[in-house]
Structure 1
Amino acid sequence: MLRHLFTLIWNRKRANLLLISEIFFSFVVLFVVGVVLITTAENYLTPHGFNYNEVWRLQVRAGQGLKMPRAELDEVLRHVKALPGVRTVALTSGNVPFVFSTNNSEFSYQGKKSPVTNVYDADDHYLEAMQLHLREGRWFGPAEDGSNHRPVVISQDLRQSLFGNGPAVGKVFTYLNPGKDPKPEHQFLVMGVVDNVRMSSDFNAAEPSVWNRLIPFDTTHWETANVLVRVAPGEGGALQEKIARTVAGVTRQWTTEVRVVNDDRLNRRRYTLVPVVGLSIVGLFLIINVALGLFGVLWYNISQRRAEIGLRRAMGATGAGIGWQFLGEMMVVTTFGVSLGSLLAAQFPLLNAFDLPAHPYLLAIGGAAGAVYLITALCAWQPSQLAAGIQPAVALREE
């Protein structure tokens, strides 16, 4: 039976080549959409690695043309931390979670190169404010005031890329191109390792990260300071207003903006979802058009093969046998298209494209193949039933 189907397909190779092409491109579209959706879903289900609930971010700005001494900034932060409802306050860099601001670099250790790594500045209270989970070592603190190297805490994925399965705490790494005589502040001493974090959005994968210690009581003058504040559950607008008044009360030339980190997360989520939803809608419309095209082509093929169908019925073929013959032909044609698409899709995990692991690609290949077979079977079912209902006398009389 299978050999007979191949013969029938070969006899109509020109028409079937067009069907194979349609199925091939349908598979490719479903594969691409599947990879995006599977990767996005897996990222969404992965823990963030920190607790963004009850965390606010403050952006404190000096007056126009002015800068804020670090000692005066620390005084402001002490007043904010003393407010009822404030649990802890942490000074950090501008790339706080879920905002459109990044700071990244590459590092090396004994010939091993890190991927592009997010770099955060953090003070001694950052761990408490963000509730990161320490896997090894500890967070930096006052004991590092006299360190000859820059104390840092790194994420688990950065640890894996630089140190593998060996110990990381106490090791010193540098920038990728540190020069012949790197400065002490460009040599990073690992104090601890935390879980992987996803600070970009709900749908982004975890990225290697490093937190540099902000040295207290330095002589830096800031134009803008970014502060993370962990508050008690249930706090809202009243406390935000108190914080703004407190900053203005300590130094009337400074202004502050208070934002809820969870609101930033929801806002970033909307921006991230737009391209994913758009790609899914385009893929859906394309598949619908392909399905309609397949249905029309099959319907036309049956009308062109009425004499063949009538002859087969006159020779004793049953209506069910005719229906299964047409359905079988389409399944074989679909197999050709899916096989070609699978060969193309298999190159992505083999080449490690887009730095994704293999399993999203493999799941997308399986899902795309199943969807194509299902669509083809649904499109072929009604035309095959139409072919099964053709009476031999009517078909041969028309010829």
Structure 2
Amino acid sequence: MNRKLISQTLNEWRANLWLAVELLIVSVIVWYAIDFCYVKILDYSSPLGFEIDHTYKIKVDEISENSPEYVDRDSEGYIADKLELIDRIRHRPDVECASWSNFAHPYNYNVSCHQYHVDTIKTQGNVRRKADPDFFKVFRIRGINGETSDELAAMFRERGVVISSNLFDDAIDARTLIGDSIYSHSDRAIAVGAVISPMKMSEYSLRIYGCKTVIESDKIERMNDLCVRIHANMDNDFIGKFMADADRHYRVGNLYIGSVTSFDSLRDFFNSESEREVILMVTAVVFLLVNIFLGLFGTFWFRTQQRVSEIAIRKVNGATYSDIFRRFIGEGIVILSIVTPIALGMDAALVSHELNEMYEDNFFSWGRFLICAAITYLLLAVMIVLGIMVPALRAMRLQPAIALHDE
């Protein structure tokens, strides 16, 4: 892009002013749309932090007190029944491991939020999960330092809570807290046994939600979610076989098996609404981009069509096709390059005023900002090139005498 072209473009500022304003507005809108899609892609593609292959959720119900089959149970008896039930399930040949938990498993609408702190540094947007040690084995959760799920289960049992590596963002390296304590809102000291990678609630969970995790143990009578992992070669009609044995083998005290659901099914149901919303939003963004493309395409098409005589004169003076292309396309790129810094300032203003909700909780980064800006610039450049190239190519095919005669 030479100085002569830039100088000529600036000298024709009156003719280019409205085009520059249009490109400025379009650049801000396209950046916002690109940023939205970029965030959705990042959210969906970021690691889940768990595995749900060969896993099932067993719904455990209790007999009503009005039922003639109801058995009086005190607290100790209720605990014994729950331990007996999970022990029987663990001894099934097709079951690899089983776990009691509460508000802990993925694809779960029930969330328990809690605040923790170290000195004056507090967590925000975290999720507290209650589970027993085998929870890590059921969902194949691994430690940030490479610990296996079995090792995590042992560390959880012996040392205390397990936290996610992003619990305090960049303020504290969570690995330095292993063997130390974090504190609840009531200043209760809780020993940290291990650190895991961020654990999302689902594929569509924002990083700011459901990923900052503290997994604590709890009394078994307060944990009502029973999840199991079966051996990889045992998936064939596991639900049917399990339910066939439910009344005979898994009726303990007042506890009985209500249903069994695979986590694949839970995932599909949990994500269905999010998928519809994403499809709707992406469709709207694509529709917006198509309309912007057609608008810019039409603007540059009309602009180039009005300069047929200029193209003819350039051909008479010996200009080649490539010379004319470089002149016209270069002019459009110069205008785009001039307005882009202004558009970026407006984009930064959107960020600073938090008009994009996905920037909450320090999710924004300048790297992401510049990546979206670069994509926006390239996309608009492609629109400009196509909007100029097609009509310019048609105009250059005319004989100069015919073009000038029409003028």
Q: 2:383 aligns with which of 330, 355, 375?
A: 375
Q: 58-67 or 292-301: which moved more?
A: 58-67
CA deviation string 1:322-365 (max 9, x = no partner): 44322222222222343333333456788893332443333222
Q: Is the 8 A contact 1:88 1:231 kept in 2?
A: yes
Matched residue, 2:373: 365
Give distance in 2, aligned partners of 1:314 and 1:162.
Answer: 67
Give distance in 1, aligned partners of 2:297 and 2:156.
Answer: 66
Matched residue, 1:63: 63
Is the alpha carbon distance of 1:291 and 1:259 closer, same or farther for their aligned partners in structure 2, counting shifts above 3 Å?
same
The amino acid of 1:59's aligned partner reads K
3-state SS of paired residue (1:154): strand
Aligned residue pairs total 377
Give distance in 2, aligned partners of 1:163 and 1:286.
Answer: 42
The amino acid of 1:108's aligned partner reads H
Is the alpha carbon distance of 1:109 and 1:203 closer, same or farther for their aligned partners in structure 2, counting shifts above 3 Å?
closer
Q: 1:167 aligns with which of 165, 176, 190?
A: 176
Q: Is the 8 A contact 1:86 1:231 kept in 2?
A: yes
Is the alpha carbon distance of 1:4 and 1:196 closer, same or farther for their aligned partners in structure 2, counting shifts above 3 Å?
closer
Matched residue, 2:359: 353
Give distance in 2, aligned partners of 1:323 and 1:388.
Answer: 10
Give distance in 1, aligned partners of 2:280 and 2:199.
Answer: 27
CA deviation string 1:155-202 (max 9, x = no partner): 222276675367323323222x42xxx5xxx43222222333223336
Matched residue, 1:90: 99
**Is the counterpart of residue 10 in structure 1 residue 19 in structure 2?**
no
Q: 292-301 or 24-33: which moved more?
A: 24-33
Q: 280-289 or 202-211: which moved more?
A: 202-211
| Unaligned 5+ runs, structure 1 | 145-150
Shift of the alpha carbon at 1:391? Answer: 3.9
The amino acid of 2:35's aligned partner reads V
CA deviation string 1:212-252 (max 9, x = no partner): 11245xxx4x6x82111122222322333146335763236
3-state SS of paired residue (2:166): helix
CA deviation string 1:262-285 (max 9, x = no partner): 322233344333333333222222
3-state SS of paired residue (1:101): coil
Matched residue, 1:290: 292
Q: Is the 8 A contact 1:153 1:211 kept in 2?
A: yes
The amino acid of 1:92's aligned partner reads S
The amino acid of 1:152's aligned partner reads V
Give distance in 2, aligned partners of 1:103 and 1:12.
Answer: 60
Give distance in 2, aligned partners of 1:373 and 1:385.
Answer: 18
Q: 1:196 aligns with which of 195, 198, 202?
A: 198
Shift of the alpha carbon at 1:380? Answer: 1.4
Is the alpha carbon distance of 1:340 and 1:31 closer, same or farther for their aligned partners in structure 2, counting shifts above 3 Å?
farther
Q: Is the 8 A contact 1:31 1:364 kept in 2?
A: yes
Give distance in 1, aligned partners of 2:110 and 2:319.
Answer: 70
Matched residue, 2:334: 332
Give distance in 1, aligned partners of 2:400 and 2:15.
Answer: 22
Matched residue, 1:73: 82
3-state SS of paired residue (1:343): helix
Shift of the alpha carbon at 1:315? Answer: 5.5
Is the alpha carbon distance of 1:163 and 1:376 closer, same or farther for their aligned partners in structure 2, counting shifts above 3 Å?
closer
Task: State how 1:173-192 maps to structure 2 within 5 Å.
Answer: 173-175=182-184, 177-178=185-186, 182=187, 186-192=188-194
Q: Is the 8 A contact 1:98 1:201 kept in 2?
A: no
Give distance in 2, aligned partners of 1:64 and 1:322.
Answer: 85
Identity rate, percent: 18
Matched residue, 1:213: 217
Shift of the alpha carbon at 1:93? Answer: 0.2
Q: Is the 8 A contact 1:201 1:268 kept in 2?
A: no
Is the alpha carbon distance of 1:339 and 1:238 closer, same or farther for their aligned partners in structure 2, counting shifts above 3 Å?
same
Matched residue, 1:279: 281
The amino acid of 1:27's aligned partner reads V
RMSD: 3.4
3-state SS of paired residue (1:133): coil
Matched residue, 1:227: 226
Matched residue, 2:111: 102
